[in-house]
Structure 1
Amino acid sequence: MKITEIKSCFVGPAISPEQFIAEHFFIFLAKGEMNGYDGNKHYKLKAGESCIIRKNRLARYNKVRTDNEFEKVIFIFDESFLKSFQKKNTVLFQNYKSKDAFIKLKKDNLIDSFLFSLEPYYNHSGNISKTFSDLKREELLLILLQIHPELSDLLFDFGIPGRLDLEKFMQQNYKFNVSMERFAFLAGRSLSAFKRDFKMIFNETPSRWLIKRRLQEARFLIEEKKQRPTDIYTDLGFEDLSHFSFAFRKEFGMTATEMLDM
């Protein structure tokens, strides 16, 4: 069964490289593996496992094919859907807190049966009508809250990120390639306040500091860990190898390959 993306749930071989998670979503891996990183911890999801990936988090994830196959089921729990669900259902809060962006879910027959029940709802184009899609989202959410009642504290928190320690936040998340507006939002500041506070703390503009910090880490990985530039540039937040190579040579006076061979 191969199904393309629809608004609330889909099955298919591709995962978005987006590093800012705008909405909560449930993911189940049918085939392959997935590695995740949230700036603090590394996560691994194997075939047959599922997790919730939380909104308003920075996260990087990549797929690992098994026998050249990778299939997943994703349900997006956007804020408007969650607010509508809360009006129709009693939601009990557990005072649960977690800093993790990836919340691994227990294996359970209810989830397995639910996933198996999806197949008849897909048409030949790989879509589910919005009516059935929303009903299946509600069904899944009821199942998840029964298995993991503590998820209510995460999914139904509609507040915006609070003001964070900016130095600690940036040192933890400098590898993520997102806009200054995203960094400011997640740090609990307006863009102007973010830039002002950043200058006071680092005595540098955010864009220039990010380049320098990423290049410092690149030099460490190349000199001390003997890692190749082609293996590290994307994980350090550079969009392409040519940009990384140009910035590295400008900063250190030699290419990354020359430094690796020293």
Structure 2
Amino acid sequence: MPIDNIPELYLNNLKHKPDLFVYDFKMTEDTIKTKVNLNMHMFSFLQIGKKQVHFAGTSVTVNKDQSLLLKKGNWIWTELLDTDAIYYCKLLFFSEKILEDFLEKHIQHQQIIKEEVPYFTIRNDAYITSYLNSLSTISDAPTVFIENLLSVKFEEIMLYLIHKYGEKFELYLKSLIVKETSPFKKIIESKIHSNLKLEEIAFLCNMSLSTFKRHFINEYKTSPGKWLQDKRLQKAKEVLEQGQLTPSDIYLDFGYNNLSNFSIAFKNKFGVSPKEISK
């Protein structure tokens, strides 16, 4: 599977990489588990459709009522059409320099953040809708003004989100400049209830598949395929036993593309169907 380098894929002039860049991403068919090397931090303001993203230590799924702020790095994401025949999100990329300048200007007493937090979920509201409309207007401005206008708009959305989410968002922004890398086992165990293949998890670990398998066997003394399947099904059973979710709610999260395959694997392991467990 090829790796998409973003935002370079969207830039007309690769020799000049701006500190701020807006791109309207649209598609008319689903894209499943695209490997992305994200080279700048990025707002993904989802307008139509559904998006699922995986980072080294975590994953998240959002719909058109939510947007994401993503840390630069290796991601795997799936973008799905909803009831409409188009998927649309507005992407706002920003450099670490822009972020550091903003933090220095607006956030005092910057304590050191040790935890690496790859994403922040944003609830779309009327202000954000208005903000996105204003970004679209900027694209029509003379080129000479766009850079300065984007700088103002970047500061605006950051200040609004600090107002909306308070210290939680401030801490997230500080975490974006942390250079810490997640340990191998933390990445593996965070993917127990994901729908990623081994080769995709290896990518998130910045390893080839063969290197990943060697590391895995050294750590867990068994093959990664069998270990992950057993762990995912065991976790799925625990979730269903709580009685709050049904098999239809969780099968995608536990590595299965349809409910039928999940039910067959579950019954082969436990002797009962997932529907019986959730009753």
TM over 0.5: yes
Q: Distance in 2 between matches of 1:195 and 1:58?
A: 20
Which residue in the other structure is 2:253 paired with?
A: 235
The DSSP-based 3-state class of the residue aligned with 2:24 is strand
- CA deviation vs aligned residue, 1:16-44 (integer Å, no higher than 9, x gap): 66486542431336699999887658798
The answer to whether structure 1 residue 53 and structure 2 residue 46 are counterparts is no
Q: Distance in 2 between matches of 1:179 and 1:200?
A: 19
Give the residue type in structure 1 aligned to 2:134: S
The answer to whether structure 1 residue 172 and structure 2 residue 190 are counterparts is yes
Distance 1:189 1:43, change over 3 A: closer
Which of 95, 111, 117 is residue 134 of structure 2 equivalent to? 117
Q: 2:42 touches 2:92 (CA, 8 Å); kept in 1?
A: yes
Which of 75, 82, 86 is residue 91 of structure 2 equivalent to? 75
Q: Distance in 1 between matches of 2:203 and 2:48?
A: 35
Distance 1:188 1:163, change over 3 A: farther
Q: Which moved more, 1:241-250 or 1:222-231?
A: 222-231
Q: 2:116 touches 2:176 (CA, 8 Å); kept in 1?
A: no
Give the residue type in structure 2 aligned to 1:74: K
**Following TM superposition, by how much is the alpha carbon of 1:212 offset from its aligned partner in structure 2, in angstroms?**
0.9
The answer to whether structure 1 residue 25 and structure 2 residue 57 are counterparts is no
Give the % identical residues: 24
Which residue in the other structure is 1:99 paired with?
A: 116
Which of 203, 210, 213 is residue 192 of structure 1 equivalent to? 210
Q: Distance in 1 between matches of 2:204 and 2:37?
A: 11
**Following TM superposition, by how much is the alpha carbon of 1:45 offset from its aligned partner in structure 2, in angstroms?**
9.1
Which residue in the other structure is 1:182 paired with?
A: 200
Give the residue type in structure 1 aligned to 2:189: Q
The DSSP-based 3-state class of the residue aligned with 2:194 is coil
Distance 1:117 1:258, change over 3 A: closer
Higher fraction of strand? 2
Structure 1 stretches lacking a partner, 5+ long:
1-5, 124-129
**Following TM superposition, by how much is the alpha carbon of 1:213 offset from its aligned partner in structure 2, in angstroms?**
0.9
Distance 1:211 1:240, change over 3 A: same
The DSSP-based 3-state class of the residue aligned with 1:235 is coil
TM-score, normalised by the number of residues in structure 2: 0.55
Distance 1:32 1:62, change over 3 A: closer
- CA deviation vs aligned residue, 1:35-66 (integer Å, no higher than 9, x gap): 9887658798996x864222436688999x9x
Q: 1:145 touches 1:151 (CA, 8 Å); kept in 2?
A: no
**Following TM superposition, by how much is the alpha carbon of 1:134 offset from its aligned partner in structure 2, in angstroms?**
9.0
Which of 219, 226, 235 is residue 217 of structure 1 equivalent to? 235
Give the residue type in structure 1 aligned to 2:273: T
**Following TM superposition, by how much is the alpha carbon of 1:198 offset from its aligned partner in structure 2, in angstroms?**
0.9
The DSSP-based 3-state class of the residue aligned with 2:44 is strand
Q: Which moved more, 1:175-184 or 1:93-102?
A: 93-102
Which residue in the other structure is 1:257 paired with?
A: 275
Q: Distance in 1 between matches of 2:270 and 2:239?
A: 14
Distance 1:33 1:131, change over 3 A: farther
Q: 2:193 touches 2:232 (CA, 8 Å); kept in 1?
A: yes
**Following TM superposition, by how much is the alpha carbon of 1:199 offset from its aligned partner in structure 2, in angstroms?**
1.3
**Following TM superposition, by how much is the alpha carbon of 1:122 offset from its aligned partner in structure 2, in angstroms?**
7.7
